[in-house]
């Protein structure tokens, strides 16, 4: 991203929207049913998330996104638009349809997955940077049906992932995920489901932590 200005509370624009996507995983300091609203308006919630991001990466935590923050934000971005520790291919539907055949178009799925990756980068950082296995990311409608998923599964929109960070229990991961802006968190025996259902018009629109 070619950041062209220092961004602070009160600013607005597409660059603020991109900033919000990248700090979305720093939504809260402790478990809270809240998320960073990606609306291009730099409000108090965005400023607080920027401060937590800055603090985690050893920067001056002033809530102002200037050159040092830009550099760190860009260090988390890969050349293809994915992130430093996650690849788009890890989130492809397991039936070979990549990002096609879902409940929204493939371009939207890819963007949703990109946003999800930044939350997962924050989760990974907070957990101490363990490798994170993606058991399931996007699912085509047909693949979702074949594995017994709900017809309106958040996976079919690219806003969900089933994850297994190395050396961490689902309960440990869930507690940290509750600070990362995830509105859907479901614990299973060997993995954790996370999603952003409250943020999308086609999501469940409510928080569900189980």
Read off the pLDDT of residues 19-51 as tens digits, 9 standing for 90 and up.
999 999 999 999 999 999 999 999 999 999 999
Across 197-207, average pLDDT:
91
Question: What is the distance in angstroms between the CA of the first residue and the CA of the last residue of the chain?
Answer: 36
In sequence order, the 6+-apart residues with CB closer than 8 A to the CB of 178 are 28, 31, 32, 33, 185, 209
Q: How confident is the model at residue 101 (pLDDT cuts 50, 70, 90)?
A: very high
**What local confidence, expressed as pLDDT, does residue 19 receive?**
98
Average pLDDT, the chain: 97
Give CA–CA dist 131/45, Å, rounded: 29
Closest listed residue to residue 196, CA positions, set 119, 139, 144? 119
Helix, strand or coil for residue 122? helix
Give CA–CA dist 45/140, Å, rounded: 34
Q: How many CB atoms are closer than 10 A to CB 191?
A: 19
Q: Is the pLDDT of residue 204 over 90?
A: no
Across 186-205, average pLDDT:
95
**What local confidence, expressed as pLDDT, does residue 83 receive?**
98
Across 135-154, average pLDDT:
96
**What local confidence, expressed as pLDDT, does residue 205 receive?**
86
Q: In Å, how far from its chain's centre is CA 206?
A: 17
Give CA–CA dist 108/102, Å, rounded: 10
Give CA–CA dist 136/139, Å, rounded: 8
pTM: 0.97
């Amino acid at each position: 991203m070619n950041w062209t200005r220092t961004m602070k509370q009160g600013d607005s624009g597409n660059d603020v929207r991109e900033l919000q996507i990248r700090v979305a995983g720093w939504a809260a300091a402790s478990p809270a049913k809240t998320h960073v609203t990606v609306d291009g308006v730099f409000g108090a919630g965005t400023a607080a998330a920027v401060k937590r991001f800055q603090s985690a990466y050893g920067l001056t935590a002033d809530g102002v996104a200037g050159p040092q923050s830009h550099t760190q934000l860009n260090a988390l971005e890969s050349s293809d638009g994915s992130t430093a520790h996650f690849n788009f291919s890890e989130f492809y539907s397991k039936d070979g349809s990549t990002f096609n055949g879902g409940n929204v178009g493939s371009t939207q799925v890819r963007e949703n997955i990109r946003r999800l990756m930044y939350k997962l980068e924050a989760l990974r950082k907070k957990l101490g940077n363990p490798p994170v296995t993606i058991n399931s990311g996007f699912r085509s409608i047909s693949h979702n049906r074949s594995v017994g998923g709900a017809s309106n599964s958040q996976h079919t929109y690219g806003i969900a992932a089933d994850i297994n960070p190395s050396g961490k229990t689902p309960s440990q991961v869930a507690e940290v995920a509750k600070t990362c802006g995830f509105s859907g968190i479901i614990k299973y025996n060997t993995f954790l489901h996370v999603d952003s259902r409250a943020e999308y018009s086609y999501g469940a629109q409510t928080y569900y932590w189980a």
